[in-house]
Structure 1
Amino acid sequence: METTQKIFETMYVNDTSAKVIKKLALEGKMTRYNLRTIAWKIWLGVLPLPVNSVWTSKMNNERKRYHELVKKYENETYVVDPLLSGSSNNERDELKKKIKKDIDRLYNSIEFYCDNEIRTKISNALYIFAREHDDLGYQQGFHEIMGIFIRELVLDSELIQNNTIERGILHTVICLNEIEADTFILFEKLMTILGVFYEQKRIKDSSTTSLIHFKCEKLFQSIAKYDPKYFATLIRHNIVPAVFGLRWIRMLYAREFHIDDVVILWDAIFAFGHQLKLVDSLFIVMMLYVRNDIVERDDESYSLRRLMKYPPVEDIKLLIELAVALAEHRVSISGTSICMRVDQNSLLVDQPIDWLSKKKCSRDSDKIEESLLQKLGTIQRKLVLVDREEKINTQELLNIASDLSKIIDTMK
């Protein structure tokens, strides 16, 4: 296996590296062997391009600042000041309790987060952030975002420790002894963009809250342009986008997918840049992704549940591909077309998109192909209901078998 030094040079030092790593991210193809936290530091503005000796001084300065903040707030905590009101001390104690409560239930099903040292590092970084950024303080969800950052930093550090021969810039950029500081640094940089969508103490009016609600509403309204029928259904079902949209946007979809898919999603979001613009496109694509499920059920309570508890996605790369295409205005999409694409991707694994037309249909059979895809999509959704052990009668199962038989006959 290549040493991480070689991987670092290939992925980050070469002249074409920036384009290569960005392309991988926007295709959802980055892995832990790509040292993703280096890319995150670049895309979030911690490190400048190209790679050079400035990286060493840049990282050292950022970490030095964090350690100075730690000393500042440690001294503030333990030095008794007769002029300091008791309420201020109580507020700091309450802040620590609030953070600890959230950390104690952070990703409990993942062994990594059960490590007390990791929990302490996250708690420390969250406390320092909240004290230094009093306008934001500590808010629900911060611990999850920071938790994802620290996990990826540790994975990269372990990879370097196990496989790197030479010492140099790489060992400075990724350092196991500076995990806590680097977690804080990444989180703080992200919050310079994402923080506007959280509540801010210094703003007395509702402008910040209105900003996130306005964003959710604007993205929700855009569904009407892509799929009027679907949008009408959502309106009829009294769907309020902020109910699920606040969590989607503020958490960068961290609660909607498995953590291994979340980091791939973040690769794309950070790589695309433009103030996290891909977050908007993902919002629209995710809404359209569940379109058929919601329209066919046509049930108000089910629609809200479907959006509040997002269904498992077989391949996160498909969502990324569609979101990037939408953000770059490369495609004209609709709810039906996305659902057809999703169904096709699920049923025809590892097959090209035009598999039906090239392998089984004549050149002038576009309408037949579209009809077949629609039938395949319907069958797929019915099978999903069976898999979820939801009610479906024997006659419907027979209809599924009959439809499959007809499609097979058509493609012969």
Structure 2
Amino acid sequence: MSQLQENIIISKTLLTLDKYKSLDHLKRAVVDNEYIPSSSKFLRSLLWKTVYITESLNIQLWQNKLNDTRRVYHKLIQDDDMTIPWYKLEADNTYYNPVELGRNSSLRRKKKLNGASVKKSKLALVQVQTSDDPLGENSSESNFNHLEHDDDSELLRTIILDIDRLFPGEEYFNNRFYKQQIIEILYVWAKCNPRIGYKQGFHEILGLIYINFRKDSVSIPNTNTFCSEDIRILSLFDVKYLCHDLFTVFNKFMVNTSIISHFYENEYTLMNSIQSFNKSLMKVDQLIHYNLISKLKLESQLWCIRYFRLILSRELGNDLAVTNMLWDKLITIEGSRVPALLNFLIIVLLINVKSDLIVCDFSECLSLLLHYPIKFGTGKKSYVTFIHDIFTDANRLLSVKDNDLELYECGMKINAKLNPDLNISLSYNGRTSGESMRSRTSSPGTRPSDESNRGTMGSKDSKAEKMAFEKYRMEMRLKKKAQSLMRP
């Protein structure tokens, strides 16, 4: 890496720290579309590492935090139980290493990490915080059972298979060394978390973070070219600790945001997440819920699991910059709120294509949901604006998630903005659109007969609305068919 790149990193970091006086201030700038890639100060890895590693914009505090987290991974890769069985692969496998070469390489790596510089040798002197250690008392260490060697080699083959298919158009993944680093991180993480293990989808999430961190990585020169403050800044981007930092960030991104516990841990929690999504959809947009779930019987798990597990990366098109921008915003919010926010992000995406969804049959709907139609170009909204809008709308829904009335009304406002020409709707719980949801709760003077009459009226209103929707849907399908027949 040239000195020019190092100077750019230092300059952008100092400009960022000068502009934003606290981590909360920086996070707010990300949410407000102020600290984004088009900004001259923007460094994605600075954002992610300050959120998940240093937890501060104070440069003086960075080194201790970096030492703590890097020492964890340093210790893990020295553990004999974490040795990657490259030698168990087939001899013609790209990643195959004979036993002797694999052991010698491991020893060379340990020696280099222990003695590369005075600064690196201090790693062994820093006490690791239990909360940062995936094998600490607060983790699954008490239940930690090392996989048998056959399972280890099968784990390795599974990860390699996924990594070799990862982002085929990205030049970074034409590099065997880069791919091998990702394989190592995923292997070590899976061994540290045997209850979860390795799950398909991890490779895409880590792969995208890897690209971003690799782009910002620098080699710290053994010269007097830089002052002590510059060195402290560059240490955050030190390429020699790229894997250490990736391991920490990947672990915290997946665990702190509850992505693991909600979408990967087991089938029960995953199905609970899908049921939670269905309930939220029913409260925000009754028409989409009715058409997909009640009418077409299109079960959400047929398409929603990928949305959850890959954090919408497949749904936002082939340009990884779009996913990057959404994830930048996700890490700014309190971790436990991420699964609920993801629910509302998906709902907003559905509302964006509502006019198509409500006229599709089962197979058309499923195809649309599995190939979400997102395009940016001339005359279309830029992806920067699009991501900001869907995140803002989802955040608005999240802020009122515990109030059904406000959630319903917020959904109506988003619909009015995104589908101004769509004049058909179902009202919440079968009420007409102009009737207040508060009518569910009877007043003190309401008689049982009044409640009964209201229930009958509500049922009739609901039936009438559904009939109106079916008529509208049929008309739109005929129109769509006619248009397709008239195309040359």
Normalising to structure 2: TM-score of the pair? 0.62
Pair 1:184-2:244 in alignment: no
Aligned residue for 1:36?
44
Cα distance, 1:338–1:285 mapped onto 2, change above 3 Å = farther
After superposition, give the CA deviation of every residue in 1:251-278 in whole Å (9 maximum; x if it has no partner): 1112222311111000111112242253
Tell me, yes or no, if the aligned pair for 1:28 and 1:267 is still in contact at 8 Å: no
Which residue does the alignment assign to 2:351? 288
- SS of aligned partner of 2:311: coil
Matched, 1:7 2:70: no
AA matched with 1:67: H
The DSSP-based 3-state class of the residue aligned with 1:46 is helix
Aligned match of 1:299 in 361, 368, 390?
Answer: 361
| Aligned mates of 1:342, 1:266 — CA distance in 2 | 31
Query: What is the aligned counterpart of 2:391 among 313, 320, 323?
Result: 320
How much does 1:34 deviate? 1.4
The letter of the residue matching 1:302 is: E
Q: How does 1:87-126 map to 2 (within 5 A)?
A: 88-126=148-186
Q: Which residue of 2 aligns with 1:262?
A: 323
- Contact (CA 8 Å) 2:303, 2:370: kept in 1 or not? yes
Letter in structure 2 aligned against 1:294: L
Partners of 2:218 and 2:26 in 1: CA distance: 21
Indicate the residue corresponding to 2:440 in structure 1.
none
Structure 2 counterpart of 1:402? none
Residue-by-residue CA offset, 1:25-44 (whole Å, 9 max, x unaligned): 2144511851122222333x
Could you tell me the percent identity over the aligned residues?
Answer: 21
Of 253, 272, 296, the match for 1:237: 296
Structure 2: unaligned runs, 5 residues or longer: 86-98, 101-145, 377-382, 401-405, 423-475
Preserved CA contact (<8 Å) 2:253 2:331:
no
Cα offsets for 1:210-235 (capped at 9, x unmatched) = 22222222222222222222221112
Displacement after TM superposition at 1:291 (Å)? 1.1
- Decide which of 415, 421, 425 is 1:336's aligned counterpart: 415
User: 1:104 corresponds to which letter in structure 2?
Assistant: D
CA, structure 1 residues 16+58, in 2 after alignment: closer, same or farther (shift >3 Å)?
Answer: closer
1:391 and 2:484 aligned: yes
Aligned ranges 1:394-405 → 2 under 5 Å: none
CA apart distance, 1:181: 1.5
8 Å contact 2:50–2:56 — kept in the other structure?
A: yes
1:59 is matched by which residue type in structure 2?
L
The alpha carbon displacement at 1:327 in A equals: 2.6
Task: Please give the root-mean-square deviation of Cα atoms over the aligned residues, in Å.
Answer: 3.5
What amino acid maps onto 2:45 in structure 1? T
- Give me the whole-angstrom Cα distance separating, in 1, the residues matched to 2:194 and 2:238: 29
Q: Distance in 2 between matches of 1:35 and 1:147?
A: 18
Higher relative contact order (CA 8 A, sep 6+): 1
- Structure-2 separation of matches of 1:56 and 1:179: 15
Indicate the residue corresponding to 1:137 in structure 2. Answer: 197
Q: How far has the Cα of 1:342 moved from its partner?
A: 11
Residue 114 to residue 212, structure 1, CA distance change in 2 (3 Å): same
- Out of 334, 344, 349, which is 1:273 matched to? 334
CA shift for structure 1 position 6: 3.2
Greater Rg, structure 1 or structure 2?
Answer: 2
Q: By how many angstroms is 1:304 displaced? A: 1.3
What is aligned with 1:248?
307
Counterpart CA distance in 2 for 1:87 and 1:323 is 41
- In 1, Cα distance between equivalents of 2:326 and 2:364: 26
Is the Cα–Cα contact under 8 Å of residues 4 and 160 in structure 1 kept in the other structure?
no
In the TM superposition, residue 186 of structure 1 has moved relative to its aligned partner by: 0.8
Structure 2 equivalent of residue 174 of structure 1:
237
Are the aligned partners of 1:272 and 1:278 in contact in 2 as well (CA < 8 Å)? no
Relative to structure 2, which stretch is displaced further, 17-26 or 265-274? 17-26
Return the letter of the residue paired with 2:186. L
Residue type of the alignment partner of 1:225: K
Preserved CA contact (<8 Å) 1:103 1:143: yes
Structure 1 unaligned blocks of 5 or more: 81-85, 201-207, 344-380, 398-412
Partner Cα distance (2:308, 2:158) in 1: 22
Structure 2: distance between partners of 1:318 and 1:342: 19
Q: How many residues align?
A: 338
